[in-house]
Copies of this chain bind each other. A is one copy, B any other.
Amino acid sequence: SRSLNLAVIPGDGIGQEVVAQGLKVLSAVLPQDVKLETKEFDFGAKRYHATGETLTEADLDALKKHDAILLGAIGDPSVPSGVLERGFLLKLRFAFDHHVNLRPSKLLPGVATPLAGQPEIDFVVVREGTEGPYTGNGGTIRKGTEHEVATEVSVNTAFGVERVVRDAFARAQARPRKKLTLVHKNNVLTFAGHLWTNVFNKVAEEFPEVATDYIHVDAATIYLVTDPARFDVIVTDNLFGDIITDLAAAVSGGIGVAASGNINPSGEFPSMFEPVHGSAPDIAGQGKADPSATVLSVALLLRHLGHESEAARIEAAVSADLAERVGKPARSTEEIGDALAVRVAG
Task: Name A residues whose Cβ lies closer than 8 Å to a Cβ of B.
Answer: 81-82, 85-86, 90, 113-117, 133-134, 136-140, 142-159, 162, 185-195, 197-198, 217-219, 221-222, 224-226, 239, 242-247, 249-251, 254-255
Q: Which residues of B contact A225 (CB under 8 A)?
A: 114-115, 225, 247, 250-251
Contact, CB under 8 Å: B82 / A193 = yes
Q: Which residue of B lies closest to A83 (CB)?
A: B187
- In the complex, which of the residues B90, B140, B149, B222 contacts A255, with contact meaning CB atoms closer than 8 Å? B222
Contact, CB under 8 Å: B157 / A154 = no
Given A114-B115, A186-B82, A221-B246, the answer on whether A157 and B152 have CB atoms closer than 8 Å is no
Q: How far is the CA of A191 from the CA of B82 in the complex (A)?
A: 10
Total copies of this chain within the assembly: 2
Contact, CB under 8 Å: A150 / B192 = yes
Contact, CB under 8 Å: B114 / A226 = yes
Q: Which residues of B contact A117 (CB under 8 A)?
A: 116
Q: Which of A113, A195, A245 has the most CB of B within 10 A?
A: A195
- In the complex, which of the residues B115, B191, B246 contacts A222, with contact meaning CB atoms closer than 8 Å? B246
Given A144-B198, A151-B154, A154-B152, the answer on whether A221 and B250 have CB atoms closer than 8 Å is yes
Distance of A164 from chain B, by nearest CB (Å): 15
Q: Which residues of B contact A242 (CB under 8 A)?
A: 185, 188, 217-218
Distance of A319 from chain B, by nearest CB (Å): 21
- In the complex, which of the residues B155, B186, B239, B244 contacts A149, with contact meaning CB atoms closer than 8 Å? B155
Contact, CB under 8 Å: B90 / A188 = yes
- In the complex, which of the residues B152, B243, B255 contacts A153, with contact meaning CB atoms closer than 8 Å? B152
Q: How far is the CA of A90 from the CA of B139 in the complex (A)?
A: 25
Distance of A120 from chain B, by nearest CB (Å): 14
Distance of A273 from chain B, by nearest CB (Å): 19
Given A218-B243, A225-B225, the answer on whether A81 and B152 have CB atoms closer than 8 Å is no
Apart from A138-B191, A217-B243, A218-B245: 14 A-B pairs, beta carbons within 8 A: A81-B197, A82-B193, A114-B226, A140-B191, A146-B162, A148-B157, A151-B156, A152-B189, A153-B154, A188-B239, A217-B242, A218-B243, A221-B243, A221-B250
